[in-house]
Amino acid sequence: MGKVSQRVVHNFLRHDKKFPHVWCAGCSNGTVLGTIIRAIAEQNLDRNNITMVSGIGCSSRMPVYIDLNTLHSLHGRAIAFATGIKTYKPGMKVIVVTGDGDCTAIGGNHLIHAARRNLDLTVIVINNNIYGMTGGQYSPTTPFEAKATTSPFGNFDTPFDICDLAIGAGATFVGRSTAFHTIELQKMIVDAMEHKGFSIIDVVSACPVIYGRMNKKGGPAEMMMAMRDNSILNTAAEKLPPEKVEGKIIRGILKKVDHPEYCERYAELCTKVKEMQHE
Amino acid sequence: MARNSQKPELVLMQGNEAVAAGALAAGCDYFAGYPITPSTEIAEILAEELPKRGHTFIQMEDEIASIAAIIGASLAGAKSLTATSGPGFSLMQEGIGFAKITETPCVVVNVQRSGPSTGLPTSPAQGEIMQSRWGSHGDSPAIVLYPASVKESYALTIRAFNLAEKYRTCVILLMDEVIGHMREAISLPDISEIKIINRIKPTVPANWYKHYDENQKYLSPLASYGEGYRFHVTGLAHDQHGFPTNKPTEAGAMMERLEKKIVHNIRDLVQIESYMMEDANIAIFAAGIMARAAKAAVKIARAEGLKVGLLRPLTIWPFPDDAVRKMLKNVEYVVVPELNQGQFLHELRRLVKSTTDSKLIGFQRVNGTLITPTEILQKIKDVL
Ligand SMILES: Cc1ncc(C[n+]2csc(CCOP(=O)(O)OP(=O)(O)O)c2C)c(N)n1
Ligand code: SF4
């Protein structure tokens, strides 16, 4: 794994234009931004050929800070906008940054269909189990019984497992990591971007200011430590009896298969149709 | 169906086919859509024609995704299109507003059917005169074109693309179900004679580029993703570079620019047909299929010695205020046949000077059937 200097990270930020950022101190969004930059820098890609697309939410504010082609779109629609970019310019690397609400509530339909198509997008879900931007309502990944402003008596709703959802919908690269495991996450982002097909990473993240406070999770440091202590790599979990794994967040690449990618298949179709015309 | 040949020839075409052919002639190279009658033929034709040209057709999971995809594609350089009808048009409204605030060219065709909701699928109606202007939240001026024949469906589709590119906005083509499905023999112009407008490309170095550059005509260059400009696009109020802003001066300037872009170019945008209006003392104001019925009514009326004329907007938004004011000054009555509950009538009232609007005679129908020329003529005789 390549080392990326602080100077390189700085070079990727629109530091002269868009700072200070809007995020609270201790929020995972900044950590994930840094990790994405390191993953991009490590690959030595032409940044004119990378587009970052987001929806609406705290996490979705990310594109404005990074010096790529950037699109801050509509709540829930990041994957649909990204689909337009990717299917028009298949050579473009397209990264989607989205929140748990953005991606799996209002945007759930676009998520499953992009996964089904196996469109070559890399979706990074900053999963903080809450609607941060709107002040702390429960999301489709808020755990059972957790407090949110719209679940004052504890969440009685059943949460999604984003990775299971993506696997079920046909995603060909599915991984999970956390905002604590930045080295692991950096490598996973590189793998996901290199993967030909739909890739998604569920990044377990902390919103200390709203979710953390409401659920007495301690400050940012305590929440990071919880990510470290309550999670386990899938390869390690396989070797343990189920009761030792119970309740733990499973990290690692949970699915990686080769399957024809949407744009490649479309290009093949075009070639076939053209040949048919000449016959 | 698509004409690439050099010679003009007579072909039998449906309005929807003409839209697809017009789109291809205009250089459309991206379509995303979701099936809905009575617009589906447009998608079906492009599903066949775009791959032949190596261009993209994609059937999305819904209309929200469709408008998002065509905006995304346009930002990457496409001339993009979607086609829908009432229920899908409602779902697209948030995306249409996004295209407008981000000044991203794209074309949305709405082949109207009866509403509200699922209504009378798929009987004719003209229910989206106002939605096409005000459908998305917030203030955002609109460019909306309205053809009255198959031939015009072709021509106005090309014009819709040209205006979208020139003014960097979402242009809406409103169609009547009857025109979408009607067959007429039309001659398509020689491809080389069609005037095509493409977005102005920036020529400045990357760090000088402003995504929303000011100039006298409010028309500014537009880079595409991948060309080295690395610009930012957001639906938040933004400054000239595209970066979000909370400053009242910058947010106000952005809104003013969206408005002035249309207002300053009204002569270029407005198109009307004035038929037998020179000596008319009764005018009919109608668009699309209702203007066809009205024209037939004018002909019968003239044969009977009645001085009736027709004013027909081809561009319904921006509204042809000057032509309407002139009409209101010159005639005694204006009959307004429309397949809705008075949407054009409402707009005409805005332009009536006196406190009464007794000059305006509404004629509305919303039961899924058309108003006939004979009925329009009868209405005229009733007021005389
Ligand atoms: C159509 C629409 N509905 C609702 C909203 C309000 N809204 C803005 S952000 C948001 C939720 C964001 O939550 P999430 O995606 O999890 O991101 P986070 O803020 O936690 O990073 C909501 C509901 C909106 N902007 N648009
Ligand atoms: S509200 Fe939560 S998610 Fe939003 S910036 Fe603050 S800590 Fe981060």
Q: How many CA atoms lie within 13 A of B84 on its CB side?
A: 27
Q: Which helix (H) or strand (E) holds B338?
A: strand B333-338
Closest listed residue to residue B134, CA positions, set B84, B88, B90: B90
Q: In this structure, are B22 and B130 located in the same domain?
A: yes
Identify whether B207 is part of a domain: no
CB within 8 A of A162, min separation 6: which ones?
A100, A103, A104, A125, A127, A141, A176, A200, A202
Domain extent for B87 = 9-193
Q: Which residues of B touch A70 (CB under 8 A)?
A: 230-233
CA distance A84 to chain B (A): 4
Q: How many CA atoms lie within 13 A of B4 on its CB side?
A: 5
Per-residue confidence band for A279, with pLDDT thresholds at 50, 70 and 90:
confident
CA distance B186 to chain A (A): 26
Quick check: B225 and A269 CB within 8 A? no
Contact B70, B105 (CB under 8 A): no
With a 6 Å cutoff on the Cβ, whether A131 touches ligand 1 is: yes
Cα(A99)–Cα(A264) distance, integer angstroms: 28
B86: CA distance to ligand 1 center in Å? 27
pLDDT at residue B213 in the model: 86
Q: In this structure, are B185 and B332 located in the same domain?
A: no
Quick check: A88 and B73 CB within 8 A? yes
CB within 8 A of A134, min separation 6: which ones?
none
Quick one: B339 exposed, middle or buried, by C-beta within 10 A (0-12, 13-18, 19+)?
buried
pLDDT at residue B6 in the model: 55
- Domains of chain A with CATH codes: 8-277 (3.40.50.970)
Q: In this structure, are B160 and B293 located in the same domain?
A: no
Block residue for tokens 């037998």: B276
Tell which of B166, B193, B220 closes a domain: B193
The sheet that has B30-33: what strands, in order across it? Answer: B56-59, B30-33, B80-84, B106-112, B170-176, B143-145, B315-317
- Atom of ligand 1 lying closest to residue A207 CA: 20
Tell which of B143, B159, B193 closes a domain: B193
Q: In this structure, are B45 and B182 located in the same domain?
A: yes
* CATH number of the structural domain spanning residue B296: 3.40.50.920
Residue of B nearest to A52 (CA): B232
Identify whether B222 is part of a domain: no
Q: For the segment B274-331, what is each residue's pLDDT rounded down to a tens digit?
A: 999 999 999 999 999 999 999 999 999 999 999 999 999 999 999 999 999 999 999 9
pLDDT at residue B4 in the model: 52
Q: Which helix (H) or strand (E) holds B327?
A: helix B321-330
CA distance A102 to chain B (A): 14
A142: CA distance to ligand 2 center in Å? 15
A120: CA distance to ligand 2 center in Å? 29
Amino acid at residue number B311: L
What average pLDDT does chain A have? Answer: 96
Identify whether B255 is part of a domain: no
Residue in A21, A22, A58 to alter for ligand 2 test, most ligand atoms within 8 A of Cβ? A58
Q: Which helix (H) or strand (E) holds B145?
A: strand B143-145
Quick check: A74 and B98 CB within 8 A? yes
Q: For the segment A110-163, what is each residue's pLDDT rounded down to a tens digit?
A: 999 999 999 999 999 999 999 999 999 999 999 999 999 999 999 999 999 999
Cα(A248)–Cα(A244) distance, integer angstroms: 8
Nearest ligand to the C-alpha atom of residue A100? 1
Q: Which of B60, B225, B231 sits opposite A85 (nearest CB)?
A: B225
Q: In this structure, are B179 and B282 located in the same domain?
A: no
A131: CA distance to ligand 2 center in Å? 9
Cα B113–Cα B166–Cα A61 angle in degrees, nearest 5: 80
Q: In this structure, are B309 and B188 located in the same domain?
A: no
Identify whether B345 is part of a domain: yes
In chain A, positions 108-167, which contact chain B (CB-CB < 8 Å)?
109-110, 113
The number of domains in chain B is: 2
Identify whether B253 is part of a domain: no
Cα(B188)–Cα(B6) distance, integer angstroms: 10
State the pTM of this model.
Answer: 0.97
Q: In this structure, are B180 and B31 located in the same domain?
A: yes
pLDDT at residue B242 in the model: 96
Tell which of B154, B170, B193 closes a domain: B193
pLDDT at residue A85 in the model: 98
Identify whether B165 is part of a domain: yes
Identify whether B285 is part of a domain: yes
Alpha helices in A59-132 (DSSP H): 78-88, 100-104, 108-117
Structure tokens at A245: 């794994």
* CATH number of the structural domain spanning residue B179: 3.40.50.970
CA distance A50 to chain B (A): 8
pLDDT at residue B1 in the model: 47
With a 6 Å cutoff on the Cβ, whether A262 touches ligand 1 is: no
Quick check: A69 and B230 CB within 8 A? yes
Interface size, chain A vs chain B, as Cβ–Cβ contacts under 8 Å: 135
Chunked mean pLDDT (size 10), chain B, 384 residues: 59 97 98 98 98 98 98 98 98 98 98 95 95 97 97 98 98 98 95 95 94 83 97 97 96 95 95 98 98 98 98 98 96 97 96 78 97 98 92
pLDDT at residue A278 in the model: 82
Identify whether B296 is part of a domain: yes
Residue in A134, A207, A214 to alter for ligand 2 test, most ligand atoms within 8 A of Cβ? A207
CB within 8 A of B291, min separation 6: which ones?
B148, B273, B284, B310, B312
